[in-house]
Amino acid sequence: MATEVYMPKNGMDMTEGTIIRWLKNEGDPVEKDEPIMEIETDKITMESEAPASGILLKKLYEDGAVVPVLTTIGYIGEAGEKVPDAPAAASAAVAPAPAAGTAAPAVAAAPGAAAFAAAPASVAAAAAPAANAAVREENGVVAATPYARKLANDHGLDLHTVAPSGRHGEVRGRDVEAALEAAPKASPLARAMAADRGIDLKGITGSGYRGKIMSGDLPAAAAGATAGAAEVDAAIAEIEGVLARYKMNGMRKVIAQRMFASHNEIPNVTQNIKIDVTELLALREKINQGKEKADRVSVNDMIIKAVAKVIGEQERFRMTLEGDEFVLHNEINIGVAVGLDDGLLVPVVHNVDQKGLLQVSKEAKALARKARDGKLMPDEMGNGRITISNIGMFGTHSFTPIINQPEAAIVGVCGTEEELALVDGQVVARKKMMVCVTFDHRILNGTEVCRFESRLKELLENPISILL
């Protein structure tokens, strides 16, 4: 009996996926767990594997189709086995499969699929599994999978510099990932500028986070280049000036849509409170004594634990609104906003109440690293109860964070400032920090948020209680 191929559901929040490209044609043999198609969700692009070994008997949807999760999209079985010629129940949300010999509509095509389709026909054929010739490029266009092309475009990486590992000479996603891992860390703009001007990024000291090379680091580095400093400055002006236009990528589009929806659909209010973190910083210093830098606990790790304790005590912060019902969730899952060059991701540390501070710290660091490297899995970004957005490293005094729907609130953490205070009749210097809580006024009232902030202040000002 033929095995159904489903549109996979990768994560709680995934409702549909786009078939970027089938990696097998009808009639091709496939092995169980072999990649048979590339799909794109609103968060990531990934390969989907065959659920069984056999022959790909039927593809019910073509490249570019948008299909609800768990919908049957094809069949694998024995040669000659009869299977349905059409989906059992076509949804209105599904883009219709193009007729034979007809290209998929442009509006249905994912960004990666469009990039692949733009290549010459012979290049696309060379990258297809059914092709016989191993052609790597033609007319300067590199044969690459849509995921590889999208990943390279997102990071400003020239595909000509990537060694391909595909069976037909095409560059695959793993090749781009390996090239990015080995290459100096640089922003997409800085990488594009360097490629345009022939500047070698190796040896350049970056001014960005963890030494990332930014566009502003290039003029000095290029002073000895053949083009000369004046020409480099002109190139920077051309790329960064008003004449430059950059397409909004998929992640940035999703962020823009969700932030706009959150701001417009939710009656949100922000309340601020100032917290004395002198003792918190002192405790953190004691905890980190003798530890390697990678193992040190951050202020944010301690805030994650404190927030988890508070929402464990105050259940309305674990509620979501579904229609006219409040839904109370049990798990204490904390989202941690991670800023990227091209947007923002919110990986989630699950069951924080059941973990010690060191374990939370280790998981939060690993998730942040995966977010910056583009390696987060869907389940690592969903099902959060509340989000923490920390921009204290920039010295921000206060701000208004936007709620990560469908959560009830978001906690904004600001910079630490020194203030003079009167303690036991003595004037002393204390370190204080603003915490800003934006909340959904349909779920929470101002007095409830005041209790939340007061309890958070109590924990952070007596930090040993966070560990108990």
Write out pLDDT tens, residues 171-201. 888 888 888 877 777 776 677 677 767 787 7
pTM tops 0.85: no
Burial class (CB in 10 A: 0-12, 13-18, 19+), 254: middle
What six digits make up the tokens of 227? 């083009």
Q: What is the pLDDT of residue 239?
A: 52
Residue pair 273/435 in contact by the 8 Å Cβ criterion: yes
- The pair of three-digit structure tokens given for residue 373, joined into one six-digit string: 């490297």
- Please report which residue ranges of 268-393 form alpha helices under DSSP H: 278-288, 299-313, 357-372
Beta strands in 116-257 (DSSP E): 137-138, 141-142
Please name the CATH architecture into which domain 251-467 falls: 2-Layer Sandwich (3.30)
- H or E, element range at 348: strand 348-349
What string of pLDDT tens digits covers the 468 residues of the chain? Answer: 789 998 888 766 677 888 888 999 999 999 988 889 888 776 667 788 888 999 999 999 998 888 888 899 999 999 888 888 777 544 333 344 443 333 333 333 333 333 333 333 333 333 333 333 333 565 567 888 877 887 787 777 778 888 888 777 788 888 888 888 777 777 766 776 777 677 877 778 777 766 778 767 776 555 554 445 555 555 555 555 555 666 666 666 777 777 788 888 889 999 999 999 999 999 999 999 999 988 999 999 999 999 999 999 999 999 999 888 999 999 999 999 998 877 788 999 999 999 999 999 999 999 999 988 878 888 898 899 999 999 999 999 999 999 999 999 999 999 999 999 888 889 999 999 999 999 999 999 999 999 999 999 999 999 999 988
Residue 322 vs residues 160, 325, 406, 408: alpha-carbon distances, Å? 49, 5, 9, 12
Give CA separation, 212 vs 21, 183, 457, in Å: 33, 11, 35
> What is the per-residue pLDDT for 387?
97
Q: Are 372 and 342 in contact (CB under 8 A)?
A: no
- Please provide residue 123's backbone torsions phi and psi, each rounded to the nearest 5 degrees: -70, -45
Evaluate whether 386 touches 335 at the Cβ level (below 8 Å): yes
**Measured between alpha carbons, how far is 73 from 86 in angstroms, rounded to an integer?**
9
pLDDT at residue 349, as a whole number = 97
Task: State the residue for tokens 């030494």.
Answer: 211
pLDDT tens per residue across span 328-375: 999 999 999 998 877 788 999 999 999 999 999 999 999 999 988 878
Beta bridge partners of 388: 336, 411
For residue 146 the two structure tokens come to 């849509």
3-state DSSP helix/strand/coil percent for the chain, to nearest 5?
35, 25, 40
Which is nearest to 359 in space by CA: 297, 293, 299? 297
Which two three-digit tokens encode residue 397? 């005094």
Query: How far apart (Å, rounded) are the C-alpha atoms in residues 455 and 468?
Result: 15
Backbone phi and psi for residue 398, each to the nearest 5 degrees, phi listed first? -160, 160
Could you tell me which residues are beta bridge partners of residue 320? 327
214 vs 416: CA distance, rounded Å: 26
Domain boundaries of the chain, sorted by first residue: 3-179, 184-240, 251-467
User: What secondary structure does DSSP assign to 240-295, as a single string?
Assistant: HSTT------HHHHHHHHHHHHHHHHS-EEEEEEEEE-HHHHHHHHHHHTT--GGG
In degrees, rounded to 5, the angle at the alpha carbon of residue 19 between the alpha carbons of residues 18 and 21 is 145
What is the distance between the alpha carbons of residues 46 and 229, in angstroms, rounded to a whole number? 42
Alpha-carbon gap, residue 346 to 376, rounded angstroms: 10
- Residue 156 three-state SS: coil
Amino acid sitting at position 114: A
Per-residue confidence (pLDDT) for residue 84, from 0 to 100: 84
User: Spelled out in words, what is the top-level CATH class assigned to the domain 3-179?
Assistant: mainly beta
Q: What is residue 139's predicted lDDT score, i.e. its pLDDT?
A: 55
Rounded to the nearest angstrom, the gap between the alpha carbon of residue 143 and the centroid of all alpha carbons in its chain is 26
Residue 107: count of CB within 10 angstroms of its CB = 8
Strand segments (E) across 23-94: 29-30, 35-40, 45-49, 54-59, 66-68, 72-77
What Å distances lie between residue 236 and 112, 192, 276, 323, CA to CA?
28, 11, 44, 51
